[in-house]
Amino acid sequence: MSCGEPEKELWRDTMGRPERRGEPALTHSELESFLRNEFPQVFKAGSGLSIEEIWHGGAQVRQAYREDFIRPGGTISGPTMMALADFAMYVAVLASIGAVPLTVTTNLSINFLRKPSAADLLAEAKLMKLGKRLAVGEVAIRLAGGVELVAHATSTYSIPSTQDA
């Protein structure tokens, strides 16, 4: 009643040393092309989403400020941050396993920690496990230029088996 499955190596720091970031499975521009073709409703002009950096095991993405994200009191809506966390995790998975279109979120759990003010959001996703069937990661969301977390998510992605393809 506890878990495990065979997995690919993650170049991820876990002891406080500077993280060694491995080569992503596809280039930045290959990833953008894939997203524009496969997810045109998400990754499109006007969405405000952009990919800042990718590496094997993680990604940093940005959500530019948009007025329709705002809630009373000038804070950014919860669903905006949930969608951003999901996107960051998806980009991290693709950066680690390549352009596998049928990869799907199975679970996302998010804690809203502080009210973000009206500014761009940065989300950094790191995979904690990259197995053959499941990828599990965490996502830290901050205001651009900020230090404190505004939200933190964990998420699990299901990876289609090669036999299924």
Residues that bind a second copy (CB under 8 A): 1-5, 7, 10, 14-16, 18-19, 38-39, 41-42, 68-73, 75-79, 81-83, 86-87, 90, 101-116, 128-129, 133-134, 136, 138, 140, 142, 147-149, 151-152, 154, 156, 158, 161, 163
Sequence-ordered strand ranges (E) for the chain: 49-55, 58-63, 70-71, 75-76, 104-112, 121-130, 134-143, 149-158
Helix axes 78-97 and 28-38, enclosed angle (nearest 10): 120
Task: Choose between 70 and 119: whose C-beta lies nearer to a second copy.
Answer: 70
Q: Are 117 and 74 in contact (CB under 8 A)?
A: yes
- Could you tell me the smallest distance in angstroms from the CB atom of residue 149 to a second copy? 5
CA distances to 28, 62, 94 from 31, rounded to whole Å, are 5, 15, 8
- Nearest approach, Cβ of residue 28 and a second copy (Å): 20
Specify the residue, 11 or 30, whose C-beta has the smaller distance to a second copy. Answer: 11
Smaller CB separation from a second copy, 10 or 25: 10
Minimum CB distance to a second copy smaller for 56 or for 142? 142
Two tokens, residue 156: 């699990």
Residue 21 in 3-state DSSP?
coil
CB of 74 to a second copy, least distance (A): 11
DSSP state of 26: S
Q: How far is the CB of 145 from a second copy (least distance, A)?
A: 11
